Amino acid sequence: MDMKTLLGSRKISRQGLARRMLGIGTAVLLGSLAAGCDSGDKKGLTVGFSQIGSESGWRAAETKLARQGAEQRGITLKFSDAQQRQENQIKAVRSFIAQGVDAILLAPVVSSGWDEVLGEAKAANIPVILLDRQIDTPNVDLYLTAVTSDTIEEGRVAGRWLAGKVQGRDCRIVEIQGTVGASLVANRKKGFEEAIATAPNLHLVRTQSGEFTRAKGKEVMEGFLKAEAPGSICAVYSHNDDMMIGAIQAIKEAGLKPGTDILTVSIDGVPDIFKAMADGDANATVELAPDMAPRAYDILLAYRKDHAPPPKWVQTPSKLYEPDTAAAEYARRKDLY
Amino acid sequence: MGRFVTTRTLPLLATVVVFVLIYAVCAAQYPAMLGLRVMGNLLTDNAFLGILAVGMTVVVVAGGIDLSVGAVMGLTTVALARLIEGAGLPPALAFALVLALGGLFGAGVGAAIHYLKAPAFIVTLTAMFLARGCALLISTDSIPIHNAAYDTLAATALALPGGGRLTLVAGIMLLTFLAGGILLHGTRFGARVFALGGNAHFAQLMGINTGRTTILVHAFCSLMAALAGIVFSLYTRSGYALTGTGVELDAIAAVVIGGTLLTGGVGGVAGSFIGVLIQGLILTWITFDGTLSSWWTKIAIGALLFLFIAVQRLILVASARYGRSGAGPAAPNTPNQATSAPASRPSSGAAAPSAS
């Protein structure tokens, strides 16, 4: 509860900031538009982006990079926040079509139910690029490409790092899962298990859901520490950084030293985990790159130039970061989130 | 002041004026919004909300409220997906089944409100949790519906000039509004609903079975919610348990913007239709603009709601002060005694006897 109110207030101030930035952004945009008109008929692209919402720091960063990337490339971005509702996304896509945008970026909130509206976009000859999540459709011609990470690979990268880190030593691992039922969670679990299966000295002894939140991650870790014999947990793997930050706190409260007594590896690459790594409390994170929209812009610009269709799935890299670069990475990211 | 401008019609007129103003501003800024394409989108994209608003209007006119409609809609979509995808039922049968269940669910809610003498707010809140819980129990994932008949229904549309389309779901919504209007303003049941919302005690003295009316009103509202669920599942060709979260509040907002009094007894579906369109229009405008946060929709709706509540209050105060000139002419125009009495009721004291 405490965490929720805390996050809530942080969000408000962030929104306030965002609004001011938005105002500046609009001014810049109008200015650049006017400049564009002056310098003759230099046709800039207009791209509509239907975003799921702003539920997490990662998504806010994705949005911010979408705006920055558009500005750098002289693209006019029409942005629509769906507030977690599919109907709002469908409305936004329809409005983009009615407006005659040059392309549409869609980060789908659910996997199904897009055939109708994407069919309309196709009929209007507007290419659609999926960001961050795939959709479930029998007709893959409905979209140009999907720019997402490989969520199984993320788990593998984490597992491989751990296997390399402990070398031949026996290691009992506990896992904090994300919200059960999401395909992302199944994939991050699967990839990790695949990677550690090759090393007989690694054993996954406990796994439980921390629902992607810090508070729940802490709770789950407290449970693990009580259930296992003191000093027997060698590493913790968490499906996201937020739960790991909660777990780090639980480890500290149990009188142990996270990062030394218990190794940590998690996924996402949010600023706070870099801070924890810089402080020596965490060991590794696998980044889920938030620059999906800029990648999509580049694909789009290339496609418009040579008309060669890109591959149906463009994977973003799943890069692992360790404490040596953490301080610099934190400085680079803290304004993005 | 013509004979059409009365306490009853003034809020509706105000709504229409606001709609036209907003549309004019939008069209001036983005000429593309004038086209039939955007009009068609507006009807299609808000079809489920419109259907919910019809049910909600009847409940609010009867002096109640229903917070469960969004959850019933979500439950319907996921139940449909399971029935058609999982159990292999033909869509027509699945539709009949969910409509029947929706009606029964609403009847149960109405019965609980009447017999337990519990506030509608609490009972329908309970129903909301119940329906949402059931929906999530069926499935937490979004289930796609692969069915040839479904695809045909979803793709059925009347082509409008300018690339616009009047889809089947938009047509269903328009018909629902028509049916709702007839039900509310042209039947004995409608008259009872107005009487109940105007003053439940008077209604009882007039010999109206208030229990039966309450049950029927809520059954109708949940039936509409189930129909909205069908429309939504056609719209997305899938079922998802979290569909329609918070949409009950949008429906209530549409009803209030449309000039229906939350205290009951005054209102109609025509205003709610405009209320739905106003909300859709604001969202379209914000998307066209593309730089504003879509949370501005909420702020705009909030401001509009406040404006309408203030306008309604002023009209009532004014009509109470000038007694006959405001409420008086309404009486000869209304076919039914029962509707005219509650119409002037909120002006209290002096106006109530003048209507009889």
Q: Residue B316: give the domain boundaries.
A: 10-355
Q: Is it the case that residue A42 has pLDDT exceeding 80?
A: no
Residue B2 within any structural domain of the chain? no
A87 touches B at CB < 8 Å: yes
Q: List strand residue ranges (DSSP E) for chain B, in order.
A: 143-144, 157-159, 165-167, 238-239
**Average model confidence (pLDDT) across chain A:** 86
In this predicted structure, what is the pLDDT of residue B7?
Answer: 66
**pLDDT-based confidence at B341, cuts 50/70/90?**
very low
Q: What's CA B126's distance to the chain center, in Å?
A: 20
Instruction: Pick the more confident residue, B148 or B109.
Output: B109
Is 90 exceeded by the pLDDT of residue B127? yes
Q: Which whole number is the average pLDDT over B337-342?
A: 40
Residues of A in contact with B45 (CB under 8 A): 87, 90-91, 94
Q: Which of A110, A117, A209 to mutate to test the interface with B (most CBs of B within 10 A)?
A: A110
pLDDT reported for residue B300? 85
**What mean pLDDT is predicted for residues B67-87?**
96
Residue ranges covered by each domain of chain A:
44-143, 151-287+324-330
Rounded to the nearest integer, the mean pLDDT of chain B is 86
Interface of B with A in 14-53 (CB under 8 A): 30, 32-33, 35, 37-38, 41, 44-45, 48
B155-159, B239-243, B293-297: range with highest mean pLDDT: B239-243
B202 interface with A at CB cutoff 8 Å: no
* Chain B: closest CA distance from residue A220 (Å): 22
- For B176-181, what is the mean pLDDT? 97
- Rounded to whole angstroms, the maximal C-alpha distance in chain B is 63
Chosen from A15, A51, A86 to mutate, greatest number of chain B CBs within 10 A: A86
Q: What pTM was estimated for this model as a whole?
A: 0.78
Contact A87 B295 (CB under 8 A): no
**Residue B4 is assigned to a structural domain of this protein:** no
Strand partners, A129: A105, A145
**What ipTM describes this predicted complex?**
0.78
Interface test with B, best of A33, A50, A91, A106 (most B CBs within 10 A): A91
CATH of domain A44-143: 3.40.50.2300
Choose among A237, A259, A224: nearest CA to A193: A237
Distance from C-alpha of A148 to C-alpha of A315, rounded to nearest angstrom: 5
B331 Cβ contact list (under 8 Å, min separation 6) = B340, B355
d(CA A314, CA A129): 10
Q: Domain total for chain B?
A: 1
Instruction: Judge whether residue B339 has pLDDT over 60.
Output: no
Supply A216's token pair: 């729940």
**Nearest CB to B284 within list A95, A100, A113:** A95
In a domain, B1, yes or no: no
Q: What is the CATH number of the domain that holds B149?
A: 1.10.3470
- Is B5 a member of any domain? no
Q: Quote the CA–CA distance of B21 and A69 in Å, as a whole number.
A: 36
**In-domain check, residue B47:** yes
State pLDDT tens for residues B190-201.
999 999 999 999
Is residue A11 within 8 angstroms of chain B, CB to CB? no
Does residue B3 lie within any of the structural domains? Answer: no
Among the partner-chain residues A19, A48, A115, the one whose CB lies closest to the CB of B237 is A115
- Mention the CATH class of domain A151-287+324-330: alpha beta
Among the residue ranges A119-133, B27-41, B326-340, the one predicted with the least confidence is B326-340
Does B237 fall in a domain? Answer: yes
Could you tell me which chain B residue has the CA closest to the CA of A46?
B290
Q: Is residue A55 within 8 angstroms of chain B, CB to CB?
A: no
- For residue A34, what pLDDT is reported? 38
Task: Identify whether the C-beta of residue B1 lies closer than 8 Å to the C-beta of residue B327.
Answer: no
**Residue A253, pLDDT score:** 95
